[in-house]
Amino acid sequence: MFYKLVFIGMFVLSAFSQASILNNIKSFDANFEQKIINPSQKEILYKGHLVLKEPYYILWQYKEPILKNVYIINNFAIIDEPELEQAILTKLQNEIDILSLIKNAKKVSKNEYLAKIYDVEYNLFTKDNKIQKIEYKDALENRVVITFTNIKQNIDIDDEIFKFLPPEHYDIIRK
């Protein structure tokens, strides 16, 4: 699941750098709802906030049903789990080839783009040159739908929000 989040963040961020798709977006700030629907149609719903900034900053802030923050800077990730009072620090094993992703994103219709990376097809839906939704099926055949609201693009975002400073009482796990 974590690596899917990394990929989706990189997918969204890389889409920003392709002017023909989204008018050369440099930053993105939005609330999100992430639905995971398993093959028997049971649904899990996550809610939170996403902040992206070129060239490689990503912050997923999960607020429901649990608190969790996923910081990604370049190829390094930190998973902050406040309820467990721990943080997991890890170097990402699979780097995302942004240029390949951009080259593979194909316009399907006026507001839909498709990219296939690592044998997974990602559908990106836009409205008014803003990303509205991303859909894909994961390796377990779950349908994942991430919908964005309160979207702000090309706003100033301070790099400091992408820095994680763990409280002294946290357990730090390095993977």
Instruction: Give 14: exposed, middle or buried? Use CB within 10 Å, 0-12, 13-18, 19+.
Output: buried
Residue carrying the six token digits 């507001």: 111
Residue 153 has pLDDT above 60, yes or no: yes
Is the pTM of the predicted complex or chain greater than 0.85? no
Under DSSP, the state recorded for 127 is: E
DSSP H helical segments within the chain, as ranges?
2-16, 19-22, 98-104
Q: Degrees (nearest 5) of the Cα angle 25, 34, 147?
A: 45
The whole-number pLDDT of residue 112 equals: 87
Q: Which tokens hold the place of 145? A: 């739908």
Q: Which of 31-45, 50-64, 71-85, 112-126 has the highest mean pLDDT?
A: 31-45
What confidence category does residue 141 fall into, taking pLDDT thresholds of 50, 70 and 90? very high
Of 6-10, 70-74, 91-95, 152-156, least confident by mean pLDDT is 6-10
What is the C-alpha separation between 121 and 123, in angstroms, rounded? 7
